[in-house]
A and B are shown apart, each in its own frame.
Chain A
């Protein structure tokens, strides 16, 4: 790797000041599972690496009913799937945290890093998008919230302005009678990147026979992870059933702009989105029924 400087501030303020005062290219370091690969391959250049793992707000995970789940931007997958409230209330988050890389990667890779890296195939992004996450961002101009569907703007590009950093990701408490799931297709079960992925969350009415609200996120089938708004809307007011899921899956297939690359062809991806959307909705609904 080319030479660079390294700092490890312990507060957000220190970090923001450091970012505004330093000339040259600055990159933040969380688990480093994307960053070190990119620096080593020469894909990214940097003058100063700021390690954010020493900042308390970025390192904690908390839950209460009012604020929902707050995942500090640098919290690694293993800490997420060992967290009791996540295990109890956010199954799609568990699904994503347990399929990213293998055990060693999961001890380092954060959801915040996955999101900031803005890969079209970010599994954590898909799961968080299906749950309506909000990104808490701070910069020298102050704090702002970005809905997760607006956070990734192109492959590898996010909506952060120069001098801004991601602090945490906030996911609303699940509604009564709701369930979520994240599913992807990979040739190898572990240590592989999604050819296509789907996240969904579903809220049912108290009789469990009508869908009140739904969100569907599609992964690795467009320049960024994508919210399938029309597909989700087609479910509202309907009784959950195979044909209804099929219809939503067909709408989702129309929303995507897949490419052909080493992992799969555009037509395979389109086919996969159909299959995965149906399966994902089915499991999300089953989970909603189980928690009720």
Chain B
């Protein structure tokens, strides 16, 4: 199509340029254009949180944004959390506490949890449940997810204190 526009932004720490048509959602751009298929499409209307990403450090639903809107912005997707050597503590915690079953909702929960813990290192159970209200899980059950978030908070606090 002739209507393509260049978008340039930072995605997971890397400067990226890509082409998009204005009507393509950020989620489509991430998955189909950039091959970042970690962000999932659940509802495509803002209700399930499977597409959660961070834009300039704020949690948003990639299905409710146009790709063209991230021009000049800093984007973090679930792919940006682990490094080559180890999982991010939030990912680690979801593994240890069995915070996933089919895993479809998990990237969204993990990104949303990171956004929470970056702002509030010691959330209460209420704060966790409230924060994650925009993320739906059809199979694991929320108790295990809440336990994963609590463990993630512990792991991140331990890491901050450094080795004994």
Number of A-B contacts (CB under 8 A): 84
Selected contact of A107 from candidates B1, B59, B132, CB within 8 Å? B59
Q: What A residues does B60 contact at CB under 8 A?
A: 104, 107-108
Asked whether A101 is an interface residue with its Cβ less than 8 Å from the other chain, the reply is yes
A3→B116 CA distance, assembly (Å): 35
Interface membership of chain B positions 55-70, coded 1 if the CB is closer than 8 angstroms to chain A and 0 otherwise: 1001111011110110
A5→B23 CA distance, assembly (Å): 8
Query: Contact between A101 and B45 (Cβ–Cβ < 8 Å)?
Result: no
A29→B69 CA distance, assembly (Å): 10
* Residues from 190 to 211 in A contacting B, C-beta threshold 8 Å: 190-191
A25→B112 CA distance, assembly (Å): 36
A51→B131 CA distance, assembly (Å): 28
Query: Contact between B45 and A37 (Cβ–Cβ < 8 Å)?
Result: yes
A40→B45 CA distance, assembly (Å): 9
Asked whether A244 is an interface residue with its Cβ less than 8 Å from the other chain, the reply is no
Majority-rule SS of B interface residues: mixed
| B interface residue count range (under 10 / 10 to 19 / 20 to 34 / 35 or more) | 20 to 34
Query: Contact between A104 and B49 (Cβ–Cβ < 8 Å)?
Result: yes
Q: Tell me whether A190 and B130 are in contact in the complex, defined as CB-CB below 8 angstroms, given that A36-B64, A51-B69, A104-B59 are known contacts.
A: yes
Query: Contact between A33 and B64 (Cβ–Cβ < 8 Å)?
Result: yes
* Residues from 51 to 98 in B contacting A, C-beta threshold 8 Å: 52, 55, 58-61, 63-66, 68-69
A89→B136 CA distance, assembly (Å): 34
Q: What A residues does B135 contact at CB under 8 A?
A: 102
Closest to B63 in A: A36
Q: What A residues does B24 contact at CB under 8 A?
A: 1
Q: What B residues does A39 contact at CB under 8 A?
A: 23
Q: What A residues does B58 contact at CB under 8 A?
A: 78, 107
A103→B53 CA distance, assembly (Å): 12
Q: What B residues does A5 contact at CB under 8 A?
A: 3, 22
Asked whether A174 is an interface residue with its Cβ less than 8 Å from the other chain, the reply is no
* Residues from 84 to 141 in B contacting A, C-beta threshold 8 Å: 112, 115-116, 130-135
Asked whether B46 is an interface residue with its Cβ less than 8 Å from the other chain, the reply is yes
**Chain B proximity of A80: nearest CB distance (Å):** 14
| A interface residue count range (under 10 / 10 to 19 / 20 to 34 / 35 or more) | 20 to 34
Query: Contact between B61 and A104 (Cβ–Cβ < 8 Å)?
Result: yes
**Chain A proximity of B104: nearest CB distance (Å):** 17
A40→B25 CA distance, assembly (Å): 10
Selected contact of B134 from candidates A31, A51, A53, A191, CB within 8 Å? A191
**Chain B proximity of A100: nearest CB distance (Å):** 11
Q: What A residues does B25 contact at CB under 8 A?
A: 1, 36
Q: Tell me whether A32 and B45 are in contact in the complex, defined as CB-CB below 8 angstroms, given that A3-B3, A3-B23, A6-B22 are known contacts.
A: no
Asked whether B44 is an interface residue with its Cβ less than 8 Å from the other chain, the reply is yes
Asked whether A27 is an interface residue with its Cβ less than 8 Å from the other chain, the reply is no
Q: What are the nearest 6 A-B pairs in CB distance?
A: A102-B134, A6-B22, A190-B133, A1-B23, A102-B133, A107-B58
B residues touching A (Cβ–Cβ < 8 Å)? Answer: 1, 3, 5, 21-25, 44-47, 49, 52, 55, 58-61, 63-66, 68-69, 112, 115-116, 130-135
A residues touching B (Cβ–Cβ < 8 Å)? Answer: 1-6, 29, 31-33, 36-37, 39-41, 49, 51, 53, 78, 101-105, 107-108, 189-191
Q: Given A5-B3, A37-B64, list of 16 further CB < 8 A pairs? A: A1-B24, A1-B25, A3-B1, A6-B5, A29-B66, A33-B46, A36-B25, A36-B63, A36-B66, A40-B45, A49-B66, A102-B49, A102-B131, A104-B61, A107-B60, A190-B130
